[in-house]
């Protein structure tokens, strides 16, 4: 599968690298330093280029930038009409401490308003990037850790589910984009557990329903 990675931070770099290891055709884009982008692509066995180049012909696009950069990266990406876009962004302020969107809407819903013709699905924003390598290394072990996925496009979810399983998680259906109003604050809880509490940041979780 051809995947465009918009963002070269921890989320984009780690997911893109692992997908490249799975055999996907990955193109990294959007970094302050072109040298960093080229080095990331070289180390991952992937390509690098402009945002427009990464998006063109991509079967899936990962949006993985800080919320403050959303306007800039979307302007470069174009209308994204008909394209599956996996959103792992949480709408945080510059200090990464507070949500700037919430209660009556969400970051995911605002993105869908900005690019209404894209096929949006949200995932990966409730698990720290530090867990990805360990989950990938244990992907043949059961049970797999869960990863929340939510969106209104069933076909986009099917594609995202496959990419989630490639990393080693089991996708956990959490409803439509409206669910983001609750998931994005939950992402802040997982961040507190990962980075604010003892034990290290490689946090995973699994929900189970008790059977009578």
Q: Would you mind telling me the total number of residues written for the chain in this entry?
A: 212
pLDDT category of residue 212 using cuts at 50, 70 and 90: confident
pTM for the model: 0.95
Contact 209, 199 (CB under 8 A): no
* pLDDT tens digits, one per residue of 128-155: 999 999 999 999 999 999 999 999 999 9
Residue 102 pLDDT more than 90?
no
Among 128, 144, 149, 155, residue whose Cα is nearest residue 10 = 128
Start-to-end CA span in the chain (Å): 42
pLDDT for residue 13:
97
**76-97 burial code (b ≥16 CB/10 A, e <16):** ebeebeebbbbbbbbbbeeeee
SS3 content of the chain, % helix, strand, coil (to 5): 40, 15, 40
The pLDDT assigned to 210 comes to 94
């Amino acid at each position: 599968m051809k995947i465009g990675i918009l963002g070269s931070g921890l989320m984009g770099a780690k997911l893109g690298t692992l997908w490249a290891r799975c055999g996907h055709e990955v193109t990294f884009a959007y970094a302050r330093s072109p040298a960093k982008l080229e080095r990331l692509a070289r180390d991952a066995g992937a390509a690098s280029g402009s945002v427009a180049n990464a998006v063109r012909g991509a079967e899936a696009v990962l949006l993985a930038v800080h919320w403050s950069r959303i306007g800039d990266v979307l302007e470069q990406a174009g209308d994204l009409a008909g394209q599956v876009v996996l959103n792992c962004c949480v709408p945080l302020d510059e200090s990464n401490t507070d949500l700037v969107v919430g209660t009556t809407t969400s970051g995911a819903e605002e993105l869908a308003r900005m690019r209404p013709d894209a096929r949006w699905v949200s995932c990966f924003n409730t698990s720290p990037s530090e867990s990805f390598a360990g989950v990938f290394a244990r992907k043949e072990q059961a049970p797999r850790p869960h990863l929340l996925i939510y969106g209104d496009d069933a076909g986009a979810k099917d594609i995202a589910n496959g990419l989630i399983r490639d990393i080693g998680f089991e996708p956990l259906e959490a409803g439509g984009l409206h669910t983001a109003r609750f998931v994005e604050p939950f992402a802040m809880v997982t961040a507190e557990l990962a980075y604010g509490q003892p034990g290290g940041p490689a946090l995973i979780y699994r929900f189970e329903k008790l059977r009578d």
